[in-house]
Amino acid sequence: MVDDAFISVRNLSVGYGSTEVQKKLNFDINKNDIFFVIGGSGCGKTTLLKSMVGLLTPLKGEVLYQGKNFYEADEPTQVAMLKDWGITFQTGALFSSMSLGENVALPMQLYTDLSERQIAEAVAYKLALVGLAGFEKFYPAELSGGMHKRAGLARALALDPQLLFFDEPSAGLDPISSMRLDQLIVQICQALDSTVIIVSHELPSILSIGTRCVFLDNETNTMLDCGDPRELKIHSSQPRVRQFLNRTEKSEIS
């Protein structure tokens, strides 16, 4: 464990009511990591993500952001922390009745004192950053799947977050669109000096852009290993981790 880690997960248990989905989680995320949460279907990846972004109170343990526990902080501190986080969901979760420009502008209207002109300029910049320059007046229904994902990313970038969370960003995309989204995530991470946490089971993404990962097991309900996925693919002491990272496209992980 690293004492000065950007994010520290300590003895964390997550779940619902009295049901522990994952327990005894201990790992660190460093500044500028592209960190993947991986594991088989139903192992609790999204549950962990919800606990990390303030949507689900942990059953035990803590998640420390530069030493601060979100769930123990007062409301002003929580609001300040949330402003520093950007979150994208599997579907993009854009408001269908609002244009892309209005979707991206909303966080700035709610949480900044920027003028309408400044917001419009920032919206144009964020959309250009994700390859959607000039699409301010388009509505979500008018976009392709890949464009929808990028628009959701533009909204997540609205407040220039230090920390970006993605839940299955490549879900539903063809391989080419998925690869382009991976490249965009790397570019954004570098341009904004951000740290990225991604829930995913997509091997090409995990092995091509992931700097570190944690493997959640759905049999023991705890983590089996943590580290560079390319190293774990060969050298992990856990057979299930090696199996997951060496599987072929048609393989299934129970």
pLDDT band (50, 70, 90) for residue 18 = confident
CATH topology of domain 30-54+75-213+223-246: Rossmann fold (3.40.50)
Q: What's the pLDDT at 171?
A: 77
Instruction: Check whether 235 has a pLDDT greater than 50.
Output: yes
Query: Which position has the token pair 């705890």?
Result: 222
Q: How many CB atoms lie within 10 A of CB 157?
A: 24
Q: What's the pLDDT at 12?
A: 97
Instruction: Check whether 129 has a pLDDT greater than 90.
Output: no
**Tens-place pLDDT, residues 62-88:** 999 999 999 999 999 998 898 899 888
Contact 86, 161 (CB under 8 A): yes
DSSP 183-225: HHHHHHHHHHT-EEEEE---HHHHHHH-SEEEEEETTTTEEEE
Q: What's the pLDDT at 138?
A: 93
C-alpha 55/C-alpha 206 separation (Å) is: 25
Instruction: Check whether 94 has a pLDDT greater than 90.
Output: no
The DSSP letter of residue 90 is T
Contact 62, 12 (CB under 8 A): yes
Q: What's the pLDDT at 252?
A: 45
For the chain, give the percent of residues with pLDDT over 90. Answer: 61
Q: What's the pLDDT at 90?
A: 67
**Tens-place pLDDT, residues 179-220:** 888 998 898 888 888 999 999 988 999 999 999 999 999 999
Name, in order, each residue with C-beta under 8 angstroms of 63's C-beta and a sequence gap of 6 or more.
7, 8, 9, 10, 12, 51, 52, 69, 70, 71
